[in-house]
Structure 1
Amino acid sequence: MALIECYECKRNISSEASACIHCGAPLAEQPTHAQAQTAAAPVQPSTISFGSLPRNQAVPEAFVPPAPEPLPKVMPAAAGRRRRQQAEQTVARPINEDGSRPVESWLKIMVFLLPMVFVWFLLRSGHSAKQRLFGFGWLALLILASWLSPK
């Protein structure tokens, strides 16, 4: 008598038992050495193999049907409409009367508070000379005020 592993629950059971005492799975009769050599059949490619575990001939093999072809991906109509609207919004930029781009509100605030850092954003393409003059003029005024302040 030896302990073998149940193919169903993977627990140790007696080799003389007719069914697993834990899960109730039936155990097949162990063929003799001569019968095992004559009954050796090639393994089908669609079967599931668990390596060196003994096969139970009383349990039918699992059939794995071929995978169906995936369905084509269908996009809802609203998603396409939303993408077109976003593309139209990104193309249409607001432009001032003189053709320059407007200074964003966050840039106005930051140029007022920290002009030494944020005035350089006015050098981007699209800003007018008037906008740059105000930004760099404010920077020059603050530098002059700090230079003339009493120490």
Structure 2
Amino acid sequence: MALIECYECKRSISSEASACIHCGAPMAQQQAHAQSAGAPAQASTISFGSLPRNRAVAEAVIALESPEPLPKVVPATAGHRRQQQAAQAAVTHINEDGSRPVEGWLKIMVFLLPMVFVWFLLRSGHSAKQRLFGFGWLALLILASTLK
């Protein structure tokens, strides 16, 4: 028993293994195919392994007979994810007076650290009432800290 390199994932596996334990590539089929048939006349090799390669292990071969390009492989969830993001971007929450609501994290941080986070209320869309409450709280805390 010796360690050989898998033709698919280029990891070390047992020479007696019927399939690669890492990627599941069948080893018996590859060895029989490599011994019985040589490489096609018009072929290019693709290797995803790192150098140095074990030349005793056959590499994947792609025949260049078809002139049409191969289809682009995209994960199945990619289109679904883009659709969800577009739907979320289209949903805008607006108060009845036309202003944007103050997010929960901003409410908490304006209460705890108004000297830093009250400035976020100056972003476009916040109403004068929201800004008045934020800057009023900041002024109240500044006034309370100066009175001793």
Query: TM-score scaled by structure 1?
Result: 0.51
Aligned residue for 1:94, secondary structure, equals coil
Query: How many aligned positions are there?
Result: 90
- Give the letter for the 1:71 counterpart: L
**Structure 2 counterpart of 1:44:** none
Tell me, yes or no, if structure 1 residue 73 matches structure 2 residue 72.
Answer: yes
**Structure 1 counterpart of 2:114:** 115
TM superposition shift of 1:146: 0.9
Tell me, yes or no, if structure 1 residue 126 matches structure 2 residue 112.
Answer: no
* 1:12-27 pair list within 5 angstroms: none
- Give the letter for the 2:143 counterpart: L
Change (3 A) 1:136 1:76: same
TM superposition shift of 1:145: 0.7
CA distance in 2, matches of 1:122, 1:78: 36
**Structure 1 counterpart of 2:144:** 145
- Please identify which structure carries the higher strand content: 2
Worse-matched range after superposition: 75-84 or 96-105: 75-84
TM superposition shift of 1:105: 0.7
TM superposition shift of 1:117: 0.5
- Give the letter for the 2:103 counterpart: E
> Which blocks of at least 5 consecutive residues in structure 1 are unaligned?
1-59
**Structure 1 counterpart of 2:95:** 96
TM superposition shift of 1:79: 4.0
> Which blocks of at least 5 consecutive residues in structure 2 are unaligned?
1-37, 44-62
Aligned residue for 1:125, secondary structure, equals coil
TM superposition shift of 1:78: 5.7
Q: Structure 1 vs Structure 2: percent identity of aligned residues?
A: 76
- Give the letter for the 2:109 counterpart: M
Change (3 A) 1:75 1:139: same
Tell me, yes or no, if structure 1 residue 84 matches structure 2 residue 87.
Answer: no
For the aligned residues, what is the CA RMSD?
2.8
The structure with the largest alpha-carbon Rg is 1
Summarize deviations over 1:101-123 as a string: whole Å, max 9, x none. Answer: 11111111110011000000000
Higher relative contact order (CA 8 A, sep 6+): 2
Worse-matched range after superposition: 84-93 or 64-73: 64-73
CA distance in 2, matches of 1:135, 1:61: 74
CA distance in 2, matches of 1:62, 1:80: 37
